[in-house]
């Protein structure tokens, strides 16, 4: 098979995005854009699966892409995951944007090209392509955040996100420049080899690693680099928030795993006494604890979900730290967690969209009072996704957390596992609080109540997410096998 | 320590670049800020020249000095007096403290970097390195993948700018 087949997910997204953009420009009405975008995502994901099943060994000419892009099982896994996240966001947008009178076709082009960037990020084998991918993904996310132009909140969130994001990108770039000075390589494999050969002993590499870690921590919105997250997530239109929480975060974690394990995999950068694992362990502790404590005090459900996404980044960081001892098992738990987190979070935001309509949006806990009795069809999926985010069986979130804790325990990180466990108990409080409001409270007299909207697109997104949440929660073995295969990339 | 002419040139360009950057961020008058930016861009083009990257230096002048700074000036002129940022004393101490701390941290980091640095020995460049023909050859042979991928970056930047800046739709909330 030829190289075109191997990069077909990229080609489908790029050409699909351009075709949809042209059709939007020339068509009088743009009703089918959400459907078209979903189909493009589905096709790209399907082709990525096809490449996976066909096997990469038989594809000729893959090395012509080196070192720029690495098409391996790791990047194919992320292709599918990112396409799933993008498709769910597109479906939610299909319901949300017309309802809130934001229906402009650029949203879908931004979604597609930004996902293209995220896929590039997951496949990047050189810091040059990595940076281009990162910027492509981030610029799309900035523009999506600012999409609700008339709203001051949207503008504020987008500006904070843009300024801090550019700053973090500059830190990352500075770190890469220093690494190039120390090793003479820009490709990750070359950097890794040079550092193994002894270049990692000098202070320049340490400072470069610090800068790179700061940039990466910003992109996954880990504490103390999380300041932009609540504002950006709250200000953005909810489908864009979904996309950022799901796909942008997955892309950032793909970049983190690839960079740390390929380039900084030498003994003096990756050990419990020096290098990135101890730093990331403390970042993980801070991220989980701070985010959970603040999330419990939010009055807006959307803002609570934003903090909850920071807390989930903390749990994933625990597994990233554990990759220092067992790349395959811990890496697989990261990938599996990202999968469960994608479907649960997209579902939760989708349910929040479904619970409100124009003029009667569901924002605060009060808005959701009693909705479980008034509109059970909207409240039930919401409850399912929150239970999954809290990590309660038989949902996907339970096994996500279970595999992370197991990987951390087997890597000897008992204290980190205990802290993560305590945090997931704290986290359950604010997820269940939503359920209490939905099912056990009645709205105060005269208070504004949320009225659920009707949309086939949103319903479809919720159905897909709910099916995946239950399927992953009932039989996780097969998906975990796939994640194990994806995580054992050459380092 | 004996400094060659090249070292002096580098020191001059580097100092002027830092000075220009400082003027850009510290001057309340936006026109002066834009001029500081111009100064920084010119001296960075000078640094590129000393690295035997003539084409990059020319591009730096054409794109940044010629297009971007001019665009900034147009925007400032269109905004008129409202481009002048109001004097605001709030958070001054926090700002100076944060800036100072950050600057010190970076200088300390830079010092550490320079002290123990063993720079990777890179091979010397060819005589025609940095010229437009050599540049084009690399761009369309070895570097064709990132070159193609960067088209997605440009595309999304254009679409994003349109999405944020284009006029209001009929019936859109104000």
Question: CB A110 to CB B116 under 8 A?
Answer: no
Element housing A384 (H / E): helix A376-390
Mean pLDDT, residues A390-395: 90
Residue at B66 is within a domain? yes
Structure tokens given for B107: 């200088």
Question: CB B156 to CB A194 under 8 A?
Answer: no
What is the C-alpha to C-alpha distance for residues A45 and A82, in angstroms, rounded to an integer?
8
Nearest CA in chain B to A112: B156
Nearest CA in chain B to A70: B145
Nearest one of A183, A359, A334 to A264, comparing CA atoms: A183
How crowded is residue A395: how many other Cβ atoms within 10 Å of its Cβ?
25
Q: What tens digit of pLDDT does each residue of A49-67 get?
A: 999 999 888 888 888 888 8
Question: CB B156 to CB A114 under 8 A?
Answer: yes
Look at residue B172 in the predicted model and tell me its pLDDT.
54
In sequence order, the β-bridge partners of residue A270 are A275
Mean pLDDT, residues A380-400: 93
Q: What tens digit of pLDDT does each residue of A4-20 get?
A: 999 999 999 999 999 99
Which among B119, B146, B152 is the nearest to A14, CB-wise? Answer: B152
On whether the CB atoms of residues A112 and A37 are closer than 8 A, the answer is yes
Structure tokens given for B14: 């580097």
Which among A69, A142, A184 is the nearest to B160, CB-wise? Answer: A142
What is the C-alpha to C-alpha distance for residues A342 and A60, in angstroms, rounded to an integer?
33
Mean pLDDT, residues A125-146: 95
The answer to whether residue A188 scores a pLDDT higher than 80 is: yes
Query: Structurally, how many domains does chain B consist of?
Result: 1
The answer to whether residue A312 scores a pLDDT higher than 70 is: yes
**How many degrees, rounded to 5, is the angle at CA A80 between CA A96 and CA A381?**
40
Look at residue A144 in the predicted model and tell me its pLDDT.
95
Structure tokens given for B47: 């640094």
Question: CB B159 to CB A21 under 8 A?
Answer: yes
Residue at B80 is within a domain? yes
Q: What is the DSSP string of A139-160?
A: HHHHHHHTTSTT-HHHHHHHHH
The answer to whether residue A357 scores a pLDDT higher than 90 is: no
Is the bond leading into A67 cis (omega within 30 degrees of zero)? Answer: yes
Look at residue A451 in the predicted model and tell me its pLDDT.
81
A270, B130, B144 from B135: Cα distances, Å: 37, 6, 12
Sign of CA dihedral A161, A164, A167, A172: negative
The answer to whether residue A369 scores a pLDDT higher than 90 is: no
Question: CB A150 to CB B161 under 8 A?
Answer: no
The answer to whether residue A371 scores a pLDDT higher than 90 is: no
Nearest CA in chain A to B154: A136
What is the C-alpha to C-alpha distance for residues B53 and A396, in angstroms, rounded to an integer?
54
Question: CB B163 to CB A135 under 8 A?
Answer: no
Q: Which segments in chain B show pLDDT lower than 70?
A: 1, 83, 85-89, 116-117, 167-174
Which among A21, A147, A203 is the nearest to B112, CB-wise? Answer: A203
Residue at B91 is within a domain? no
A interface mutation test: which of B122, B143, B160, B171 has the most A CBs within 10 A?
B160
Mean pLDDT of chain B: 85
Query: Chain B contact for A178, CB < 8 A?
Result: yes
CA distance A324 to chain B (A): 26
Question: CB A202 to CB B174 under 8 A?
Answer: no
Query: Chain B contact for A107, CB < 8 A?
Result: yes
The answer to whether residue A41 scores a pLDDT higher than 90 is: yes
Q: What tens digit of pLDDT does each residue of A174-183 get?
A: 999 999 988 8
Which range is least confidently modeled, A128-137, A210-219, B54-63, B159-168?
B159-168
> pLDDT class for A240, splitting at 50, 70, 90?
very high
Question: CB B174 to CB A126 under 8 A?
Answer: no
Residue at B29 is within a domain? yes
Mean pLDDT of chain A: 91
Look at residue A396 in the predicted model and tell me its pLDDT.
94
Which range is least confidently modeled, A132-141, A369-378, B43-52?
A369-378
A residues 377-396 lying closer than 8 A (beta carbon) to B: none
A271, A287, B96, B115 from A227: Cα distances, Å: 29, 12, 20, 34
Considering only residues A74 and B90, tell me which one the structure prediction assigns the higher pLDDT. A74
CA distance A123 to chain B (A): 12
Query: Chain A contact for B109, CB < 8 A?
Result: yes
Look at residue B167 in the predicted model and tell me its pLDDT.
64
Question: CB A14 to CB B169 under 8 A?
Answer: no
Residue at B17 is within a domain? yes
The answer to whether residue A391 scores a pLDDT higher than 80 is: yes
Mean pLDDT, residues A403-417: 93
Question: CB B113 to CB A110 under 8 A?
Answer: no
CATH code where residue B57 lies: 1.20.120.1200
Question: Residue B105 region, left (φ>0) first, then alpha (ψ -120 to 50), else beta?
Answer: alpha
> Containing domain of residue B70, as a range?
1-84
Residue at B110 is within a domain? no
Nearest CA in chain B to A149: B164
Query: Chain A contact for B159, CB < 8 A?
Result: yes
Nearest CA in chain A to B106: A207
Which among B112, B119, B146 is the nearest to A129, CB-wise? Answer: B146
The full set of domain ranges for chain A reads: 287-491
Residue at B37 is within a domain? yes
Question: CB A207 to CB B113 under 8 A?
Answer: yes
The answer to whether residue A432 scores a pLDDT higher than 80 is: yes
């Amino acid at each position: 098979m030829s190289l075109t087949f191997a990069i077909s997910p990229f080609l489908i997204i790029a050409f699909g995005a351009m075709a949809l953009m042209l059709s939007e420009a020339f068509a009088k009405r743009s009703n089918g854009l959400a459907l078209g975008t979903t189909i493009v995502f589905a096709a790209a994901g399907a082709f990525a699966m096809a490449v996976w099943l066909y096997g990469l060994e038989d594809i000729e000419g893959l090395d012509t892409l080196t070192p720029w892009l690495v098409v391996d099982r790791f990047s194919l896994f992320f292709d599918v995951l990112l396409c799933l996240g993008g498709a769910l966001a597109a479906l939610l947008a299909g319901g949300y944007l017309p309802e809130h009178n934001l229906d402009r076709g650029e949203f879908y082009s931004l979604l597609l090209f930004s996902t293209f960037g995220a896929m590039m990020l997951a496949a990047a084998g050189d810091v040059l392509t990595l940076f281009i991918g990162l910027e492509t993904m981030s610029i799309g996310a900035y523009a999506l955040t600012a999409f609700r132009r008339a709203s001051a909140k949207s503008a504020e969130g987008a500006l904070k996100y843009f300024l801090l994001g550019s700053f973090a990108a500059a830190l990352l770039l500075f770190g890469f420049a220093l690494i190039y000075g120390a090793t003479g390589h820009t490709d990750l494999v070359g950097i890794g080899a040079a550092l193994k050969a002894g270049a990692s002993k000098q202070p320049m590499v340490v400072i470069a690693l610090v800068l790179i870690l700061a940039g990466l921590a910003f992109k996954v919105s880990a504490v103390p680099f999380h300041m932009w997250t609540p504002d950006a997530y709250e200000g953005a239109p909810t489908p864009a928030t979904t996309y950022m929480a799901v796909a942008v975060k997955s892309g950032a974690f793909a970049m983190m795993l690839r960079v740390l394990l390929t380039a900084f995999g030498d003994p003096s950068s990756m050990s419990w006494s020096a290098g990135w694992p101890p730093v990331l362990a403390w970042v993980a502790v801070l991220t989980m604890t701070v985010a959970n404590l603040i999330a419990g005090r939010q009055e807006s459900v959307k803002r609570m979900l934003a903090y909850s996404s920071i807390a989930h980044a903390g749990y994933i960081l625990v597994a990233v730290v554990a990759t220092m001892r067992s790349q395959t098992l811990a890496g697989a738990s990261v990938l599996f967690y990202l999968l469960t987190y994608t479907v649960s979070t997209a579902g939760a935001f989708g349910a929040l969209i479904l619970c409100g309509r124009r003029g009667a949006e569901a924002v605060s806990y009060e808005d959701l009072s009693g909705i479980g009795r008034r509109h059970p069809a909207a409240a039930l999926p919401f409850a399912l996704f929150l239970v999954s985010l809290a990590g309660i069986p038989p949902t996907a979130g339970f096994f996500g957390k279970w595999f992370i804790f197991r990987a951390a325990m087997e890597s000897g990180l008992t204290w980190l596992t205990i802290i993560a466990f305590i945090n997931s108990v704290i986290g359950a409080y604010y997820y269940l609080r939503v359920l209490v409001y939905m099912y056990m409270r009645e709205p105060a007299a005269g208070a504004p109540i949320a009225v659920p909207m009707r949309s086939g697109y949103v319903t479809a997104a919720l159905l897909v997410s709910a099916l995946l949440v239950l399927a992953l929660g009932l039989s996780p073995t097969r998906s975990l096998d796939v994640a194990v295969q994806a995580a054992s990339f050459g380092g | 320590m004996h400094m060659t002419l090249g070292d002096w040139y580098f020191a001059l360009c580097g100092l002027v670049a830092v000075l220009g950057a400082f003027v850009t961020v510290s001057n309340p008058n936006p026109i002066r800020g834009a001029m500081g930016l111009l100064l920084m861009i010119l001296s960075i083009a000078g640094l590129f020249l000393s690295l035997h990257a003539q084409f990059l230096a020319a591009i730096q002048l054409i794109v940044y000095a010629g297009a971007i700074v001019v665009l900034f000036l147009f925007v400032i002129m269109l905004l008129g007096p409202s481009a002048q940022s109001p004097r605001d004393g709030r958070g001054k101490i926090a700002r100076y403290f944060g800036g100072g701390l950050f600057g010190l941290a970076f200088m300390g980091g830079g010092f550490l970097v320079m002290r123990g640095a063993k720079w990777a020995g890179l091979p010397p460049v060819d005589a025609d390195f940095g010229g437009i023909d050599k540049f084009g050859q690399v761009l369309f042979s070895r570097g064709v993948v990132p070159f193609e991928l960067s088209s997605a970056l440009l595309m999304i930047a254009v679409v994003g700018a349109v999405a944020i800046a284009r006029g209001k739709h009929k019936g859109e909330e104000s």
